[in-house]
Amino acid sequence: MERPTTRPTTPTTSRPDGLEDRFTRTVAADERIEPRDWMPDGYRATLLRQIAQHAHSEIIGMQPEANWITRAPSLRRKAILIAKVQDEAGHGLYLYSAAETLGASRDELLDGLHSGRHKYSSIFNYPTLTWADVGAIGWLVDGAAITNQVPLCRCSYGPYARAMTRICKEESFHQRQGYESLYALSHGTPAQRAMAQDAVDRWWWPSLMMFGPPDDESPRTAQSMAWKIKRHTNDELRQRFVDICVPQAEALGLTLPDPELRWNEERGHHDFGPIDWAEFRAVLRGDGPCNEQRIGLRRAAHAEGAWVREAAAAYAGKHGLAA
């Protein structure tokens, strides 16, 4: 979810020491930029913003699903859900570590989240009202995340690309478990089927918003693609996701809540109805159903964990380790 706040930065002057040429050649050859390599300030800032936002989304995303751990309908479902929520914590950890290689400290990153300076994916500001929401999140939200993130495994920045390789493997497990859970509901009793349909009705449009604003309102995309941070535009990825979901919804026996959704023979893609970008902007601004609750819980969790950080620092000091 990118929010245009600054203009894309384009290196205009060539550095006499050849470092910039080396950067440009490395990116052009599809090789990786590593933390110690010279990089343009704009490249560093773009990556830092994107990786931090991604890390924050992983850990805030734990909350809506953790809401159902104590009420999972069986031991098997509970074990799967706990594993998934733990995976998301791990994703946050890999990504904070990747962001740290760009020169930001963990404290600065978390402060960015807690103070509201940094964004996280707006999808996690929607509530999880029923058990079927856990399935719908796995299928649609993790599915959208994979569509977005598979191309990031080829991102030009090494630590981010490597983190994404592992994250994508785990996200595909998340997507499959969500699909399987929804399938059980949609082939269950009439009440279970209705619950699955209601969850899909509520999560479909916010999932499409996960790809960010339309291309003509995403001024950073061109520069990010030139730097090979991004490989596809928001609208390309959104279209890919819609095309993947339509046959999956048919197999589930559920309807996607869009009367304009239909196959376009000429384009070789599905057409779909207009997205409510006013809702997207409102949720991004902080006016979503759960924004305050999510950030409030995160700040409280951070405060409650202070003793762990203090104990770790004291231990490190005592043993001459770097804190």
Q: Which residues contact Fe ion by CB under 5 A?
A: 58, 88, 91, 142, 171, 174
Using an 8 Å Cβ cutoff, are 75 and 19 in contact? no
CB under 8 Å to 34, separation ≥6 — which residues?
158, 159
Using an 8 Å Cβ cutoff, are 143 and 245 in contact? yes
Using an 8 Å Cβ cutoff, are 177 and 84 in contact? yes
Q: Residue type at 262?
A: R
Report in angstroms the alpha-carbon separations of 239 from 216, 249, 259, 261: 15, 15, 16, 12
- The least CB distance from residue 316 to Fe ion, in Å, is 29
In the bound state with Fe ion, the residue whose beta carbon lies nearer, of 43 and 203, is 203
CA nearest neighbour of 211 among 246, 242, 240, 237: 237
DSSP 8: P
User: What backbone torsions phi and psi does residue 68 show, to the nearest 5 degrees?
Assistant: -105, 0
In the bound state with Fe ion, the residue whose beta carbon lies nearer, of 23 and 94, is 94
Look at residue 33 and give its three-state secondary structure.
strand
- The least CB distance from residue 207 to Fe ion, in Å, is 13
Q: Could you tell me the two tokens for 56?
A: 């924050």
In the bound state with Fe ion, the residue whose beta carbon lies nearer, of 175 and 239, is 175
The C-alpha atoms of residue 306 and residue 272 are separated, in whole angstroms, by 47
The C-alpha atoms of residue 27 and residue 155 are separated, in whole angstroms, by 10
In the bound state with Fe ion, the residue whose beta carbon lies nearer, of 168 and 226, is 168
- The least CB distance from residue 284 to Fe ion, in Å, is 20
CA nearest neighbour of 60 among 304, 299, 323, 307: 299
CB under 8 Å to 167, separation ≥6 — which residues?
91, 94, 95, 149
Please work out, in degrees rounded to the nearest 5, the angle formed at the alpha carbon of residue 262 by the alpha carbons of 259 and 266: 150
- The least CB distance from residue 233 to Fe ion, in Å, is 22
- The least CB distance from residue 91 to Fe ion, in Å, is 4
- The least CB distance from residue 88 to Fe ion, in Å, is 5
Q: How far apart are the first and last CA of the chain?
A: 33
- The least CB distance from residue 106 to Fe ion, in Å, is 18
In the bound state with Fe ion, the residue whose beta carbon lies nearer, of 34 and 180, is 180
- The least CB distance from residue 153 to Fe ion, in Å, is 14
In the bound state with Fe ion, the residue whose beta carbon lies nearer, of 88 and 258, is 88
